[in-house]
């Protein structure tokens, strides 16, 4: 009886060892056999990823186009109003005020039509440049501000004598100035579009636009107050 038990134990151990060896061999064999549809699966996954990316781009393009179209609709009446104002040749009244913000002084000219202020033209003079601002109104509110900044090639006093004394090769010539232009569009008191002639195409920072809106609005209010004095 003891001999039989020993024999059965040996057989059981040999069977387990054989099964483990078969399992390892089977695992190794499976790892060596390539996945038959792996290339197709990878290609399909890449195609799916590309299609999803394309759909996202289309959605962004549609959203961006919709936003741009909505903006164009808001800008259209502003531009039409400015063109109408600039076509006026006979004004009910034109007032002028002196400004002292710049080194060489400046002026603000107010254009009224039937007691309605439609435009303010501001010029700030400086030794090395000048700044021109045009404020346009629509329905009594600020509508558009056009700004043109001139940086002179030389100070306004830089004549041929100064050129020779300083071994320079240029005299003051306004046509050689660097010019930068800004356009700020307002709707219901809010800045909705700002463009710059030297813009590289990147969007303006939110803080910059917020400060621009506040500065131009504040300056416009000060100019309106000045003409009443």
Q: Does pTM top 0.75 for this prediction?
A: no
Percent of the chain topping pLDDT 70:
69
pLDDT category of residue 228 using cuts at 50, 70 and 90: confident
- Collapsing DSSP to helix, strand or coil, 13 comes out as helix
Nearest to 184 by CA among 139, 136, 225: 136
* Model pLDDT for residues 137-148, shown as the tens digit of each residue: 999 999 999 999
* Model pLDDT for residues 43-100, shown as the tens digit of each residue: 666 776 776 666 665 554 444 566 778 888 899 999 999 999 999 999 999 999 999 7
User: Is the separation of the CB atoms in 181 and 146 below 8 Å?
Assistant: yes
Query: Which residues fall within 8 angstroms of residue 226, CB to CB, at 6 or more apart?
Result: 97, 108
Q: Does residue 187 form part of some domain?
A: yes
Instruction: Supply the range of the domain harboring residue 139.
Output: 91-227
CA dihedral 46, 47, 48, 52 (to 10 degrees): 100
98-122: average pLDDT:
89
Tokens 């045009």 belong to 134
User: For position 131, what pLDDT does the model report?
Assistant: 94
**Torsion sign over Cα 212, 213, 214, 220:** positive
Phi-psi region of 188 (alpha: psi -120 to 50; beta: other; left: phi over 0): left
User: For position 127, what pLDDT does the model report?
Assistant: 87
Residues β-bridged to residue 212? none
Q: Does residue 4 form part of some domain?
A: no
Q: Does residue 137 form part of some domain?
A: yes
Q: Does residue 24 form part of some domain?
A: no
Q: Does residue 192 form part of some domain?
A: yes
User: For position 197, what pLDDT does the model report?
Assistant: 87
Spatial distance between the Cα atoms of 206 and 209, rounded to a whole number of angstroms = 5
Spatial distance between the Cα atoms of 157 and 152, rounded to a whole number of angstroms = 11
| H or E, element range at 176 | none
Q: Does residue 168 form part of some domain?
A: yes
Q: Does residue 21 form part of some domain?
A: no
- Collapsing DSSP to helix, strand or coil, 141 comes out as strand
Spatial distance between the Cα atoms of 175 and 36, rounded to a whole number of angstroms = 74
pLDDT at residue 14 is higher than 50? no
How many other CB atoms sit within 10 Å of the CB of residue 155? 13
Spatial distance between the Cα atoms of 12 and 10, rounded to a whole number of angstroms = 5
How many other CB atoms sit within 10 Å of the CB of residue 187? 17
Q: How many domains does the chain have?
A: 1
155-176: average pLDDT:
90
Q: Does residue 29 form part of some domain?
A: no
User: For position 70, what pLDDT does the model report?
Assistant: 83
């Amino acid at each position: 009886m003891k001999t039989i038990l020993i024999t059965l134990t040996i057989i059981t151990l040999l069977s387990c060892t054989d099964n483990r060896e078969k399992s390892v061999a089977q695992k190794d064999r499976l790892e060596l056999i390539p996945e038959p549809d792996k290339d197709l699966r990878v290609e399909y996954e890449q195609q799916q990823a590309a299609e999803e990316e394309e759909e996202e781009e289309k959605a962004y393009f549609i959203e961006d186009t919709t936003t741009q179209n909505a903006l164009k609709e808001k800008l259209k009446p502003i531009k039409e109003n400015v063109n109408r104002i600039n076509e006026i040749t006979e004004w009910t009244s034109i007032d002028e005020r002196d400004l002292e913000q710049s080194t060489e002084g400046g002026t603000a000219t107010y254009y009224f039509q039937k007691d309605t202020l439609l435009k303010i033209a501001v010029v700030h003079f400086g030794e090395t440049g000048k700044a021109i601002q045009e404020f346009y109104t629509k329905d009594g509110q600020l509508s558009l501000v056009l700004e043109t900044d001139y940086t002179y090639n030389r100070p306004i006093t830089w004549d041929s004598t100064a050129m020779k004394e300083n071994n320079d090769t240029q005299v003051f010539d306004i046509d050689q100035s660097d010019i930068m232009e800004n356009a700020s569009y307002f709707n219901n008191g809010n800045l909705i579009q700002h463009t710059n002639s030297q813009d590289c195409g990147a969007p303006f920072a939110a803080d910059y636009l917020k400060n621009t809106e506040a500065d131009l609005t504040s300056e416009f209010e000060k100019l309106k107050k000045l003409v009443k004095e």
